[in-house]
Structure 1
């Protein structure tokens, strides 16, 4: 039989595989998060008719003579190029603006990765994706009350009993810093009626121009000064009045100012600055290991106005109108995303040759931040796909001609004897 007949058959099979890949790419041109694939070919076995010989004193060298046996598919590669943001207007549709994958878990605990962030809460409070599987991340471990005043970030810590609702007693309060020239009678005053905490700090008038207090002075004042309480005292969860001087409220040793100390002249800052106290969360297992990534559950009951921040923090408004922190999404960082295996339903499976997958909050460890209100578009390039389709069609036709001509040659050979 003719070798060209077998070469033509391998060419037909290879080009058919490439057309299958092109067809799947075009079919998914509008599939959110889809990554297109490409097909590469390589030549296969060669028969050596004559080997290469070296030159001698009276004869020149000769090159080898080889006949090939066609082509085969070398690889089908996933193209992980980034693509555009498709706005949907839905707050729980999320786009990863950079590298990384959302972490999904099915009912059996099997982990999958995806870049399609069509999320929402079910009736039991579980955060799920469009396929009904659980979305993983970090749950809230502890809430603290913090405020940023004049560039200084103050952490008021948590309740002394370590309860989860640590900073809630300060919700809605404003810290006001006043710069004065003489030491006041009351350094820290708390007005519960107006929900204002006033801290008076003394300027250094021994130099010209007078220096404003440093961030360390702010910290010292909050930690060591006696607090003058005015107004109606608020009540805690048990109905007891809250006294800021009582050790049961918060641990003053946890009051800290984050940032370096900078002396600033009175010309650099206004003489009065304020900051609104807000709740911030510390999350359980906020680390790189897979074991720390769990499904996210809303434990606050019915919520509205649910939103996701760029760092993956999920917040919502409960029935009382209070903003609650529900959890934080995790992002998987895959060293070799080209090795991911398609699982269908826009999922990828972790297999060999990917490297060690690490997990972090969006925006950390080289992962992308999140954008709410849209999804990632397919990266299929229709112009490229149609061009490849034409070349694949012509290649298939050319290989079919090889088979046709080889058949005619064999027919001529058979008809030599009549």
Structure 2
């Protein structure tokens, strides 16, 4: 049989595979987060008719003579080029502005990677993606509350869940209040126990050459004016780690009245400090939480599914580093968790799993887990998703060349068949 017949068959198969790849690319031109692929060819096998020889004293050298047997698909590669931001207007739609993949797990704990950030919270508080799998990240280890009064930032003490350490609780906040005892008549802090609001009056004489206020408080109110009471008419100011009421009498005697840090008061005479020439009186409005996260960026074992344990939340949003915050029913801003991002050294080695998922297999390298913007990963942008990176102009050009290649290989088979027919008809 003619070798060209087999070469034509391999060419048809190779071009058919390439057309399959092109068809899949075009079909996913509007699939969020889709990465297009390409098929490359390689030659298959060569039969050596005559080998190469060296030159001798009376004869020149000769080159080898070989006949090839067609082509095959050499590789099907993922093209991981970055694409544009497709605005959706939905705050929980996330786009990775750079390298990195979101980490999700199914109910059996199988991990997958994706760049499609269509996230939402289910009825049990689990953060899930569009396929119902759990989105992974870091849970909150401890929080501290901050607020601004004018240009002054007030930082409350750290509070670790499950620890009391003799401290008083204010609906989940450890409160450390400062008054400058030298100027108590002009500086004061009033606490709204229910709403977690602080009203601070800073007198101009706080701006001394000593700089920040550093004195311990000595002047406390005798009772919380609007706290709830228990059956014995004692004021209740919060709950301890076991859910037991914390009473004002216990809190006021055992609470460590150490300092709240007040940043932004500059040293120098009040008359020379801009904005502080007169008394400053301001109501904080909302207290903001800052959080420390469990194992942020230290390893895969700390990346777990994110669960909202704060209860009903509204106005949920995600920061550029993946921190998820929401507004509680009392108006305070609370931190729910932080979304993790996986950094894959060789993303071209990832294996497609369907549903916009990838699976880490051999040759992907040592995958690391971190928060967005760290370890060479991109920051998160909310309100949009990643577009498909399919280039239609390129795909149509490849389709034309593939069709012509397929046509040419079919012609090889036709001509080879005609030659065989001529050979068979030599004797009639």
User: TM-score over 0.5 for the alignment?
Assistant: yes
Alignment of 1:59-138 (within 5 A): 59-138=59-138
Q: Give the superposition deviation at 1:227.
A: 4.9
Aligned Cα RMSD in Å?
3.5
Alignment partner, residue 143 of structure 1: 143
Q: Given the alignment, which residue of 309, 320, 333 partners 2:330? A: 320
Q: Is residue 308 of structure 2 the alignment partner of residue 298 of structure 1?
A: yes
Tell me, in whole angstroms, the C-alpha distance in 1 between the residues paired with 2:206 and 2:416: 97
Q: Is the 8 A contact 1:40 1:74 kept in 2?
A: yes
Q: Give the superposition deviation at 1:170.
A: 7.2
Change (3 A) 1:408 1:227: farther
Per-residue CA deviation, residues 41-74 of structure 1 (Å, 9 max, x unaligned), is: 1111111111111122222221111111111101
Change (3 A) 1:378 1:184: same
Q: Give the superposition deviation at 1:169.
A: 3.9
Alignment of 1:186-225 (within 5 A): 189-192=188-191, 195-197=198-200, 201=206, 203-204=208-209, 217-218=211-212, 221-222=213-214, 224-225=215-216
* Structure 1 alignment gaps of length 5 or more: 205-212
Q: Is the 8 A contact 2:42 2:72 kept in 1?
A: yes
Alignment of 1:199-348 (within 5 A): 201=206, 203-204=208-209, 217-218=211-212, 221-222=213-214, 224-229=215-220, 233=224, 235-237=237-239, 238=245, 240-241=247-248, 248=255, 252=259, 270-271=275-276, 278-348=288-358
Change (3 A) 1:269 1:67: farther
Alignment partner, residue 156 of structure 1: 157
Change (3 A) 1:107 1:394: same
How high is the TM-score relative to the length of structure 1? 0.83
* Structure 2 alignment gaps of length 5 or more: 228-236, 240-244
Alignment partner, residue 52 of structure 2: 52
Q: Give the superposition deviation at 1:6.
A: 0.8
Tell me, in whole angstroms, the C-alpha distance in 2 between the residues paired with 1:361 and 1:250: 35
Tell me, in whole angstroms, the C-alpha distance in 1 between the residues paired with 2:132 and 2:37: 27
Q: Give the superposition deviation at 1:309.
A: 1.4
Per-residue CA deviation, residues 337-380 of structure 1 (Å, 9 max, x unaligned), is: 11100000111011010111111111122111111111111000
Per-residue CA deviation, residues 149-179 of structure 1 (Å, 9 max, x unaligned), is: 86988563337726998895479x9999x9x
Alignment partner, residue 242 of structure 2: none
Alignment partner, residue 207 of structure 1: none
Tell me, in whole angstroms, the C-alpha distance in 2 between the residues paired with 1:167 and 1:350: 44
Question: Which shifted more, 137-146 or 224-233?
Answer: 224-233
Tell me, in whole angstroms, the C-alpha distance in 1 between the residues paired with 2:307 and 2:35: 30
Alignment partner, residue 399 of structure 1: 409
Q: Is the 8 A contact 2:145 2:288 kept in 1?
A: yes
Q: Give the superposition deviation at 1:297.
A: 1.1
Tell me, in whole angstroms, the C-alpha distance in 1 between the residues paired with 2:394 and 2:137: 38
Q: Is residue 385 of structure 2 the alignment partner of residue 380 of structure 1?
A: no
How high is the TM-score relative to the length of structure 2? 0.81
Question: Which shifted more, 60-69 or 157-166?
Answer: 157-166
Question: Which shifted more, 160-169 or 352-361?
Answer: 160-169
Tell me, in whole angstroms, the C-alpha distance in 2 between the residues paired with 1:165 and 1:51: 89
SS at match of 2:109: coil
Change (3 A) 1:302 1:225: closer
Q: Is the 8 A contact 1:143 1:166 kept in 2?
A: no
Tell me, in whole angstroms, the C-alpha distance in 2 between the residues paired with 1:145 and 1:137: 22
Change (3 A) 1:64 1:22: same
Tell me, in whole angstroms, the C-alpha distance in 1 between the residues paired with 2:63 and 2:99: 50
